[in-house]
Amino acid sequence: MPEKRLPISAGRLREIVAQHPTPLYLYDEAGMRQSARDLAAAFAWAPRFRNYFAVKATPNPHILRLLAEEGCGADCSSLPELLLAERAGLSGEAIMFSSNDTPAEEFVAARRLGAVINLDDVGHLGYLELHAGLPDLISFRYNPGPLREGNAIIGRPEEAKFGCTREQLLAGYAAARQRGIRRFGLHTMLASNELDPGYFVATAQMLFGLAAEISRELDITFELINLGGGVGIPYRPDERPVDLAAVGAGVRAAYEGTFGGAGLPPPALALECGRVITGPHGYLITTVRHLKTTYRSYAGTDASMANLMRPGMYGAYHHITVVGKEEAPADAAYDVTGSLCENNDKFAIGRTLPELAAGDLLVIHDAGAHGHAMGFNYNGKLRSAELLLERGGGARLIRRAETVDDYFATLV
């Protein structure tokens, strides 16, 4: 099987671990910047293109700041995410606020920052007006229901809690226009970790067609169309990354086919990709603590599901490298586990690896998105540090590890 590689040598990684005990997250700055540039290049043709990086994927202001330098905005869904974007130096329409079941104070914060507000329900228009006032631009999230298929992570659109039907959109935009709104956006988000380029092209065709229909029916103009995110990454070594150039070319054909000669002003185009930007460039580093054999062999590590939930939650595959044994034969099978009092606290089940010993350093790959962000404190587990592997080779601490004092800090 092909092997995934680290952006640094085994020796350099050991130096980092000697300073910052495992478990820890390590993010590759150069890789994240390059991914942001690759996505921007695929959509360089699009008017005023912007990727609103999904803050929920990797909510750290140091990472948001370096992605902002690459032209990314921030896709936020809560008050803390809005504040993270602000602390990273983002404001105005460089922020898109897409939430659901939204409290009033979050709309107030989004209005203060001048963010693009993307409403999940047409009934939220009056709620927004009452509590925060109406902005110049209003967007709604579309849910196509049975017209499209989702995937395993998000599920079937008609069963999803997100978004509005076509009929609700018509009513929502008409109500916004009656309230004096003259700038409009349209958004959808239908899949997560999707590897088929054609899926995103089909989504674009659907959304462009819908925008054209609503424009004609209501005599309004769409200034912004956000195609959502969901571009997947190859978690398994034998999987191929999404061909972003092919996605960009397919979306361009659909865009020009809809807006090229229809007399409609060409809207700005946006995405809200997170995983494809940071996912492949984040690594959970952990140490083998104990080895155990009963009915099968177990490698117990100092990390747990509290550090990386995806394998236990979704049965997701994350590749594992044994540092210093990259060329050794993978002739032993292990369940790679943490120490939670839950049997699904496993990073891998029956994974063939080189023979392990206590003290071996493991790299769990493709953990740069929805990894540390989904951490929790069950069983009193403390969340790990995050380090940024800088382009010059330095490793900078960008979030310290939690302490026992942190765990007790909120108790009254």
Q: CA gyration radius for the chain?
A: 23
Q: Are 146 and 158 in contact (CB under 8 A)?
A: yes
Report how many helices (DSSP H) and strands (DSSP E) the chain contains, helices first: 12, 17
* CA-closest candidate to residue 193, choices 241, 254, 142, 145: 241
Per-residue CA distances from 68 to 47, 61, 335, 395 (Å): 18, 10, 39, 20
- 71 Rama class: left (phi>0) / alpha (psi -120 to 50) / beta: left
Per-residue CA distances from 342 to 101, 284, 319 (Å): 31, 20, 22
Q: Are 194 and 150 in contact (CB under 8 A)?
A: no
**Looking at 72, 76, 164, 341, which residue is catalytic?**
341
- 159 Rama class: left (phi>0) / alpha (psi -120 to 50) / beta: alpha
∠ CA 324-351-283, rounded to 5° = 55
> Token pair of 99, please?
């939430």
Cα 96 vs. chain centroid, distance in angstroms?
A: 14
> Token pair of 168, please?
């609700």
Any catalytic annotation for residue 341? yes
Q: Are 164 and 140 in contact (CB under 8 A)?
A: yes
What does the buried/exposed string (b/e) look like for 376-396 if buried means 16 or more CB atoms within 10 Å of the residue's CB? Answer: eeeeebebbbbbbbeeeeebe
Residues 395 and 393: their CA atoms lie apart, in Å, by 7
Q: Would you please indicate which residues are annotated as catalytic (active-site) residues? A: 341
